Amino acid sequence: MSSKTILLSTAYLPPVPYMSALLSADKFFIEAHETYLKQTYRNRCVILSANGPLPLVIPVIKPKGNHTSITEVIIDYSTNWNRNHWRAIESAYRKSAYFDFIADMLMPFYQNRFYTLWELNNQLLMAILDFLESPVKIHFTSEYQKIAPEWVMDFRYTISPKAKMPVTGLPATLPYFQVFEFRFGFTPNLSVIDLLFNEGLMARETLRIKDKG
């Protein structure tokens, strides 16, 4: 049986399909040598609020303009985005079944400051994987390749707010309970924190996480 290798961009509290792809892989890489691409999940996520899907966007500074590497993108704290994001998350999920558990995990990321988007995203991803008791290990690319090798499933640009979902090649994700499902019906492709707040460790079943062994 051939191994499955997946290539992803960095992402802020990535959507469920991103996490599903990551966790289905035998090995996955995060692209560390691309230039920053705006209006993507690299600096935004989508949660489900009482008024419907709500994008949360981290404002950033690109020191080298359009040639800024993804690892060099600086987080702009002049707008207090972290406080605003946390208030939105708290408002959306305070009635969820696992709010206290997930809030305890996430809150430090909004109380402390991170210099780069790269650092924040990676630290958040590691915290989520740790909570899920996932055995996967994060790898980073050593160079940029516009076209990935044929044996790699490349989702760097297809898992995107602009892309039509579902993306070809992604594992199917199962519906799960959502706080405002009674109002909007099931809303797919939200941030993984929507799944975590509502399902806790049962999110492992939705994401089909393989047990350690």
- Digit-coded pLDDT (tens) for 194-213: 999 999 999 988 887 655 44
Q: What is the pLDDT of residue 207?
A: 86
Q: pTM, whole model, 2 decimals? A: 0.93
Q: Number of folded domains in the chain?
A: 1
Cα three-residue angle 105-177-128, rounded to 5 degrees: 25
Q: What is the pLDDT of residue 1?
A: 34
Distance (Å, whole) CA 185 – CA 69: 39
- Digit-coded pLDDT (tens) for 99-150: 999 999 999 999 999 999 999 999 999 999 999 998 889 999 999 999 999 9
- Structural domain of 163: 5-207
CB 39 within 8 A of CB 84: no
Distance (Å, whole) CA 9 – CA 161: 13
pLDDT exceeds cutoff 60 at 64: yes
213 is a domain residue: no
Between 162 and 8, residue with greater pLDDT: 8
109 is a domain residue: yes
